[in-house]
Amino acid sequence: MTQALASALRLARGRRDTSLSELCDFLRIPSVSSDPSRRGDVARAAEWLAVRLRALGAERVAVHPTGGHPIVCGEVAAAGGSRPTVLVYGHYDVQPVSAVDDWETGPFEPEIRGDGLRARGASDNKGPMIACVAAVEAVLASGTMPVNVRFLFEGEEEIGSVHFRAFLEGHRELCACDLALNTDVGMLEEHSPTIYYGLRGLYRARLRVRGPSRDLHSGGYGGVVENPIHVLSELVAGMHDGDGRITLPGFYDSVRPMSSEERREMASLPRDDAAYLRDSGAPALWGEPGYIAAEREGARPALDIIHTFAGSEKASIPAEAEAIVTVRLVPDQAPDEVHAQLTRYLGDRAPATVRWEIGDSSGSPAFLADRNAPGVRAMARAMRSVWERDPVFYRSGGSIAAVGSIREVLGVDSVLTGFSLPGDRVHGPNERLHIPTWERGIDAVIRFLFCLSEEPAFARADGVAAPGCSA
């Protein structure tokens, strides 16, 4: 270990309680991006971040307005122009709080229980973001910046990163970098540091079925007019066959098969079907036959209705029924292609008793990264040092629009990792952050920055040895 690295690790440890307390302040801001009444809170979280970045010594810190929630930028360019630049991505917005009664603590009143920090956003993504901030702060305080860092924190990840891509397109110089670091995914388990080399894409749309021109008394019309709830139910039910395969016409045509090597690797992941079953709390697993759960999550597509709403307590046949359909995509499925398949499916199946429409459709394709890229190698070395074991390479079933946008607009890939655990209840009630893992995460990011500078691809033109991670 170099002296500079040792010093940075020591400084971060010394600041641990302060960093945790700062994270709690951040978590107290209910930055729910999907809730218009929380607009002011989202803006407050952005301001909080800007203050935090300035405090650690970042320059060019600014809260950039967008058509929606702002984007916060800042940079630490102390390593100089000949050194590589890492773009540290994060999102400061959080999911809404549903099932309020199921929360054991106030969602925006962070509370430490055992080794967990309870709060909405603790794991997704405020905790990991603040780990990156604390790491850069410690490295800068050590007096030796091995690489340059740019921060890019958005406030719309949980609502589909609506304005993120346009922001990148308008700020290419501000965001220029050699690679990105994204800690918005998690670890397979406490002792398995994890690097994600894949993400599923996401197609999303609102599906509406209209029957009668108004709500009808269900006494006067029950048995006479087809109920849009029944029609929607039939359409939804028909989207899977009895085995769990998706029935949209041609749906699997462009799904890229896994190699047998990848399937072997997936079969030996530390997360087997029993772990999925335990973590989900479901009575049984389910899905496409012939694939284990890890494959179905990361490498096979999935269709889910995430929301359905129709009618009311009053005894009526409702005029319409609505659902939000999402499809998690894998290479080489295109969102437009799935939109066309869904349209064809509805055209083929919807009965003449209703009219239907698809609205608000959006989509982004899946992501597969090179597992031999310098960033991935540097993160693997850093993780090996912290956890004393090789990281697991994983394909995530989630979707992060920013990863695709950064690839397409800035031309760089993201090192995808994170410090949340499967039991952290991301998006659900009682979200928490496992504090010891979060602390290891700070160490890992510090080491990553130093290891990165040793990567041959980033060798200095002048041949002067970079401040690295090895002695």
Rounded to the nearest whole angstrom, what is the least distance from the CB of residue 432 to a second copy in the complex? 13
Question: Which CB sits closer to a second copy, 26 or 203?
Answer: 203
Q: Which stretch binds a second copy (CB under 8 A): 9-17, 39-47, 69-77, 315-323?
A: 315-323
Query: In 3-state terms, what secondary structure has residue 200?
Result: coil
List Cβ neighbours of 166 (8 Å cut-off, separation of 6 or more): 66, 67
Question: Which CB sits closer to a second copy, 280 or 470?
Answer: 280
178 vs 183: CA distance, rounded Å: 17
- Give the one residue of 395, 425, 432, 434 binding a second copy; rule: CB under 8 A: 425
Rounded to the nearest whole angstrom, what is the least distance from the CB of residue 232 to a second copy in the complex? 7
275 vs 394: CA distance, rounded Å: 15
40 vs 69: CA distance, rounded Å: 10
Neighbours of 13 (CB within 10 A): 13
Rounded to the nearest whole angstrom, what is the least distance from the CB of residue 88 to a second copy in the complex? 22
- Interacting positions 36-75 with a second copy (CB under 8 A): none
- Interacting positions 107-146 with a second copy (CB under 8 A): none
- Give the one residue of 238, 250, 290, 411 binding a second copy; rule: CB under 8 A: 238
User: For 252-284, b where at least 16 C-beta lie within 10 A, e where not — what string?
Assistant: eeebeebeeebeebbeebebeeebbeeeeeeee
- Give the one residue of 178, 297, 439, 454 binding a second copy; rule: CB under 8 A: 297
Rounded to the nearest whole angstrom, what is the least distance from the CB of residue 235 to a second copy in the complex? 8
Query: In 3-state terms, what secondary structure has residue 391?
Result: coil
Question: Which CB sits closer to a second copy, 122 or 140?
Answer: 122
Rounded to the nearest whole angstrom, what is the least distance from the CB of residue 277 to a second copy in the complex? 9
Question: Which CB sits closer to a second copy, 20 or 32?
Answer: 32
- Give the one residue of 305, 334, 340, 358 binding a second copy; rule: CB under 8 A: 305
Q: Considering only CA atoms, give the Rg of the chain.
A: 24
- Give the one residue of 9, 71, 269, 354 binding a second copy; rule: CB under 8 A: 354
Query: In 3-state terms, what secondary structure has residue 84?
Result: coil
DSSP state of 11: H
User: How many residues at the interface with a second copy, by CB under 8 A?
Assistant: 90
Instruction: Burial-class residue 58 by CB neighbours within 10 Å (0-12, 13-18, 19+).
Output: buried
- Give the one residue of 115, 309, 344, 347 binding a second copy; rule: CB under 8 A: 309
- Interacting positions 89-108 with a second copy (CB under 8 A): 95-96, 98-99, 102
389 vs 192: CA distance, rounded Å: 8
- Interacting positions 392-421 with a second copy (CB under 8 A): 396-399
Rounded to the nearest whole angstrom, what is the least distance from the CB of residue 182 to a second copy in the complex? 14
- Interacting positions 188-227 with a second copy (CB under 8 A): 200, 202, 211-227
> Is residue 364 a contact point for a second copy (CB under 8 A)?
no
182 vs 344: CA distance, rounded Å: 37
> Is residue 307 a contact point for a second copy (CB under 8 A)?
yes
Instruction: Burial-class residue 360 by CB neighbours within 10 Å (0-12, 13-18, 19+).
Output: exposed
